[in-house]
Amino acid sequence: MISKKILLAASLLISSSIALPAFSADLVCNLNVKNGGSVFGNGTNRCGGLDFSFGNSTSGSWEITNITKSIDRINWIKGCSSGLYCSVTVRAYSANQAEAYIHYVDGSIEYLEGSMFYETGH
């Protein structure tokens, strides 16, 4: 009986130490193209679009969503400067990337990244 309790306790201890933290936050992009253009991937971490405005840029946004744990702070590396949301100017034919580290109150850290691509008729 004692050996069963020891075996059960050991297996619970091992399985709890193997469990990985469940991260659930998402970094999502939303790209706005000019009238008559098309967009793919809005609401995901990879979005892109095409229009024939012959401009050099359009607008977009980055947002961190689906957060289920308490946040201590967010460190943006690229994309935004602070907060959970920002509007950005998306340059045509350029790297429009975002990277952020979420530092949670429980001490865990989550890395998020995404990219937007915009093409125009020029």
CATH classification at residue 74: 2.60.40.10
- Quote the pLDDT of residue 7: 42
**CB atoms closer than 10 angstroms to residue 62:** 26
- Quote the pLDDT of residue 55: 86
Number of folded domains that form the chain: 1
Q: Please check whether residue 14 lies inside any domain of the structure.
A: no
Question: Which whole number is the average pLDDT over 48-68?
Answer: 94
Q: Please check whether residue 108 lies inside any domain of the structure.
A: yes
- Quote the pLDDT of residue 22: 58
pTM for the whole structure: 0.78
Q: Please check whether residue 11 lies inside any domain of the structure.
A: no
Question: Which whole number is the average pLDDT over 23-28?
Answer: 88
Q: Please check whether residue 29 lies inside any domain of the structure.
A: yes
- Quote the pLDDT of residue 14: 46
- Quote the pLDDT of residue 8: 44
Number of H helices, E strands in the chain: 1, 8
